[in-house]
Structures are given as C-alpha cells and as structure tokens.
Amino acid sequence: MTKYLGGRDKLRVFILECRVIGVDLGDINIIKNISIKPEWFQVLISYSELGLLPRLGDAVSNLKNEK
C-alpha cells in the first residue's frame, strides 16, 4: 500500500491540529492520538495528487464537517 507522489518520495502526512499524528502511508505504522478517521488519509492523498491540497488543518476540518 505504498503511495508515491512522483519520484521516490513517499507521501508523509503530518496533521498538526490533532496533536501530532505522524503517518507514513507506506505502511501506516504510526498513528497516535487518533481523533482523525484513517479513511480520511485517502482523501488527503487524493487532494494532494490533484494539486488541491489546502492547509492540512483546513482539509481535516472540512472532512470532519462532512461526517
């Protein structure tokens, strides 16, 4: 389930507003203080691939509001 964004770099999503969630989407081995649903990461990846990634905090707020 490794996700590449051009070249060799794995997309690493660091969501600061939820108190340090560091996720390496290559193997999702670190998820701390999970107040964000794991399925939201796929949406964040999709945003970034489309070049539409807003500030991550805004993206998470939008996702929370959609629930």
pLDDT at position 13 is 45
pLDDT in tens, 16-64: 333 334 444 444 434 444 455 556 666 666 555 555 544 555 555 665 5
Q: What angle do CA 64, 6, 59 make, to 5 degrees?
A: 15
Does residue 43 fall inside a structural domain? yes
Does residue 6 fall inside a structural domain? no
pLDDT at position 17 is 37
- Cut 0.75: pTM above it: no
Q: Where are the alpha helices (DSSP H) in 8-55?
A: 40-49
Does residue 55 fall inside a structural domain? yes
Estimate to the nearest angstrom the gap between the alpha carbon of 30 and the chain centroid: 12
Burial class (CB in 10 A: 0-12, 13-18, 19+), 63: middle
pLDDT at position 59 is 56
pLDDT at position 15 is 40
- Structural domain including 29 reads 12-66
Please count the structural domains in the chain.
1
The answer on pLDDT for 3 being more than 50 is no
